[in-house]
Amino acid sequence: MKVVIQRVSEASVTLEGKLYSSIGKGMLLLIGIQTDDTEEDIEWLTSKICNLRIFNDEKGIMNCSIKEKDGDILAVSQFTLMARVKKGNRPSYIDAARPETAIPLYKKFIQALSLEIQKEIKTGVFGADMKVHLLNDGPVTILIDSKNRI
C-alpha cells in the first residue's frame, strides 16, 4: 500500500457537486492499494500513520501525533498512486488491486484507523469521481509505502 499523508487545516470530498465528507485539522490520506497487499500492510501502516509525529507541540516543533492532537482523518482511495511511468507517457496501473480485492482492504484499513485513534474516519467513495479540497498545513506531505519499511 502507498499512502500520501497531508497535514491539513481542513479537507473535504465533494461528489456530483454536493459535500460528501469533511474534516477540520488533521490528515488527508490518499490510499493506493497494490495487488499483493495484505492485512499485515494495514497493521503496519495504521500504527505508523497514527503515531507519526507531524503536528506541532507548544513550541512549534513537529513532535505530536494525530492521537495527541485529537485530529481528524479523511481517507480517500486513489488507485493512481500505483501508476508505473517508466515506459511511454501513458501510466500503467497493472500494480493496482482490482476492486474485489481493494475494497475489502480499504474498508479494513478505515476500521483499523478508527480503532487506533478512537474516532470516526471520514472517507470518500471508492472508485467515484471525487473532488478533493484541502488546505495543506505547513505544507507537510509524506509518502509511505508498506513495501519499503527499511
Say if residues 22 and 12 touch (Cβ distance below 8 Å). Answer: yes
**Residue 149 pLDDT:** 81
Is residue 37 within 8 A of residue 103, CB to CB? The reply is: no
Cα-based angle 108, 113, 117 (whole degrees, multiple of 5): 150
pLDDT of amino acid 118: 96
Asked if the model's pLDDT at residue 150 lies above 80, the reply is no
On the question of pLDDT at 109 being above 90, the answer is yes
The residues annotated as belonging to the active site are 78-80
Q: Do residues 133 and 16 touch, judged by C-beta distance below 8 A?
A: no
Amino acid in position 139: P
Q: What is the model's pTM?
A: 0.94
Mean pLDDT computed over 99-117: 97
Lowest mean pLDDT, pick from 25-34, 79-88, 111-120: 79-88
Percent of the chain topping pLDDT 90? 95
Whole-number Cα distances in Å, 96 to 29, 32, 37, 69, 82: 17, 7, 10, 33, 5
> Has residue 39 got a pLDDT over 90?
yes
The average confidence (pLDDT) of the chain is 96
Are the C-beta atoms of 32 and 109 separated by less than 8 Å? no
Cell match 519499503: residue? Answer: 148
Residues 42-87 have pLDDT tens digits of: 999 999 999 999 999 999 999 999 999 999 999 999 999 999 999 8
Q: Please give the distance of CA 140 from its chain centroid, rounded to a whole number.
A: 13
